[in-house]
């Protein structure tokens, strides 16, 4: 089974702090994704990566950046945390986009609170 592991289940940070969310997958997947989940809005894509050192903006990249130095690890960075970034953050991975119906495999999420 694919395992996607997010480093923290719960995180509390202060406004203005630089925040790092880490994600590791063990299935050698090319694609990795960061979403945030908010009530009534579903999952919204922040960034994704289709290869090491490659990244593409999703629908809501403002205020975030990402890093993918190794294939198995994808980090989400909040450059200067703000209260509107309080949310559930979900990391996912999947095989290459050549097979469009390949589902994404998700971690258990990080609930981030910015005070």
Partner 1 sequence: DQQVKQNSPSLSVQEGRISILNCDYTNSMFDYFLWYKKYPAEGPTFLISISSIKDKNEDGRFTVFLNKSAKHLSLHIVPSQPGDSAVYFCAAIKGFKTIFGAGTRLFVKA
Footprint on this chain of partner 1 (rule: CB under 8 A): 4, 9, 31, 35, 40-45, 48, 50, 56, 90, 92, 97, 100-101, 103-109
Q: Of 14 and 57, which has the nearer Cβ to partner 1?
A: 57
C-beta separation of 46 from 34 below 8 A: yes
Whole-number minimum distance, CB 33 to partner 1, in Å? 8
Pairing of strands 10-13, 110-114: parallel
Q: Of 13 and 50, which has the nearer Cβ to partner 1?
A: 50
With b meaning 16 or more CB within 10 Å and e meaning fewer, what string describes 45-81?
bbbbbeeeeebeebeeeeebebbbeeebbbbbebeeb
Q: Of 53 and 80, which has the nearer Cβ to partner 1?
A: 53
């Amino acid at each position: 089974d694919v395992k996607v592991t997010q480093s923290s289940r719960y995180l509390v940070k202060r406004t203005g702090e630089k925040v790092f969310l880490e994600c590791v997958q063990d299935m050698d997947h090319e694609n990795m994704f960061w979403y945030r989940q908010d009530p009534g809005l579903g999952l919204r894509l922040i960034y994704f990566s289709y290869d090491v050192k490659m990244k593409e903006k999703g629908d809501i990249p403002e205020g975030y950046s990402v890093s993918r130095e190794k294939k198995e690890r994808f980090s989400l960075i909040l450059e200067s945390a703000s209260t509107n970034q309080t949310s559930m953050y979900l990391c996912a991975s999947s095989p290459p986009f050549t097979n469009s119906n390949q589902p994404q495999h998700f971690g258990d999420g990080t609930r981030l609170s910015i005070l």
